[in-house]
């Protein structure tokens, strides 16, 4: 069975591209990487030419997800798995592949209608090493991809079937908890991995209207997390959740709000998964300590 190996890039629909690029570079520490042939703004965070694609669009939400596979045979096998399950799959045009900076890609949608792409052969840029505009140590990426994201889905069972049984991801753990903001409600989130990162994707039938709840960037030192939190306070960037440590991946992080309204988790020190010994776990709290939400 073919499996995706990492979340290689994210496409974001943003209403103010210039504001978002300033936020990404001056606050998050990403590096501007110019424009794609289709005019989208690109951002990098490592040796990959880019990891984020900013498109002008009033939706201020997730535009598409780029899932990397190892090579051309894996891409062909993945296409067969999807089509056998009744998923419509299209081969991306050469022009689109050039815009994404990949050798070849497929286009399809997940059960929630989220535009998805599978590809191999990302464009690299070793000749010009990544340089953050901020004095941070850099990001944990490599075979673990750009980070993780949490999305709102319409049907958790259908989404699990798609991402586990068709894209080949594995369950890391589940978090079932009750949160209080006005009235209590049940909240269940499923966490999936496709490489040593504890989770690359998490989803649940969350409240709200946006598909993207947050994406996560993992930095290399706790100092980078704390200095960024204080930078947010100094620059008036809303903090959506204070410093804390999660129960499942043990990451120390805080959450900040983007110009689009969804959040970014900025963290350090998450544990990694060894599939030879890992067992699925269940938690009833999202955090060991901290991660307090504003009233």
Distance CA 63, CA 260 (A): 12
127 is a domain residue: no
Q: Do residue 226 and residue 281 come from a single domain? A: yes
- Give the model's pLDDT for residue 247: 97
Nearest to 132 by CA among 68, 220, 194: 220
Q: Do residue 279 and residue 149 come from a single domain? A: yes
136 is a domain residue: no
273 is a domain residue: yes
Domain boundary among 122, 150, 180: 122
203 is a domain residue: yes
Distance CA 287, CA 282 (A): 13
Q: Do residue 151 and residue 281 come from a single domain? A: yes
Q: Which pTM value belongs to this model? A: 0.96
278 is a domain residue: yes
Distance CA 149, CA 255 (A): 13
Domain count for the chain = 2
Q: Do residue 59 and residue 197 come from a single domain? A: no
Residue 124 exposure: Cα atoms within 13 Å on the Cβ side: 6
Q: Do residue 186 and residue 94 come from a single domain? A: no
Structure tokens at 30: 């990403």
Q: Do residue 158 and residue 283 come from a single domain? A: yes
pLDDT digit of tens for each residue in the chain (295 aa)? 999 999 999 999 999 999 999 999 999 999 999 999 889 999 999 999 999 999 999 999 999 999 999 999 999 999 999 999 999 999 999 999 999 999 999 999 999 999 999 999 999 999 999 999 999 999 999 999 999 999 999 999 999 999 999 999 999 999 997 654 443 456 899 999 999 999 999 999 999 999 999 999 999 999 999 999 999 999 999 999 999 999 999 999 999 999 999 999 999 999 999 999 999 999 999 999 999 998 7
Q: Do residue 214 and residue 115 come from a single domain? A: no
76 is a domain residue: yes
Q: Do residue 152 and residue 271 come from a single domain? A: yes
CATH number, domain with residue 199: 3.10.180.10
- Give the model's pLDDT for residue 181: 47
Cβ atoms of 256 and 217 within 8 Å: the answer is: no
Cβ atoms of 22 and 41 within 8 Å: the answer is: no
- Give the model's pLDDT for residue 186: 65
Q: Do residue 205 and residue 259 come from a single domain? A: yes
295 is a domain residue: no
Q: Do residue 148 and residue 259 come from a single domain? A: yes
Buried b (16+ CB within 10 A) or exposed e, 217-232: bbbeeeebbebbbebb
Domain that holds residue 78: 6-122
């Amino acid at each position: 069975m073919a499996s995706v190996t990492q979340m290689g890039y994210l496409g974001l629909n943003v209403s103010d591209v210039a504001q978002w690029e300033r936020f990404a570079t001056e606050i998050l520490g990403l590096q501007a990487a110019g424009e794609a042939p289709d005019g989208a703004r690109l951002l990098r965070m490592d040796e990959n030419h880019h990891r984020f694609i900013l498109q002008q669009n009033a939706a201020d939400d997730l535009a598409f997800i780029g899932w990397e596979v190892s090579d051309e045979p894996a891409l062909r096998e993945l296409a067969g798995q999807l089509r056998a399950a009744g998923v419509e799959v299209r081969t991306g045009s050469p022009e689109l592949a050039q815009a994404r900076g990949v050798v070849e890609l497929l286009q399809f949608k997940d059960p929630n209608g989220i535009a998805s792409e599978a590809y191999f052969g990302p464009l690299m840029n070793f000749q010009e090493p990544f340089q953050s505009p901020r004095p941070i140590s850099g990001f944990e990426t490599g075979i673990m991809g750009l980070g993780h994201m949490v999305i709102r889905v319409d049907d958790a069972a259908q989404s699990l079937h798609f991402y586990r049984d068709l894209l080949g991801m594995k369950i890391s753990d589940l978090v079932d908890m009750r949160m209080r903001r006005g009235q209590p409600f049940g909240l269940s989130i499923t966490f999936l991995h496709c490489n040593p990162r504890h989770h690359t994707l998490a989803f649940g039938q969350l409240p709200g209207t946006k598909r993207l709840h947050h994406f996560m960037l993992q930095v290399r030192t706790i100092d980078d997390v704390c200095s960024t939190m204080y930078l947010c306070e100094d620059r008036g960037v809303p903090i959506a959740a204070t410093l804390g440590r999660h129960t499942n991946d043990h990451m120390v992080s805080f959450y900040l709000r983007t110009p689009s309204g969804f959040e970014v988790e900025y963290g350090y020190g998450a544990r990694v998964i060894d599939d030879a010994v890992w067992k699925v776990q269940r938690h009833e709290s999202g955090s060991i300590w901290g991660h307090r939400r504003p009233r």
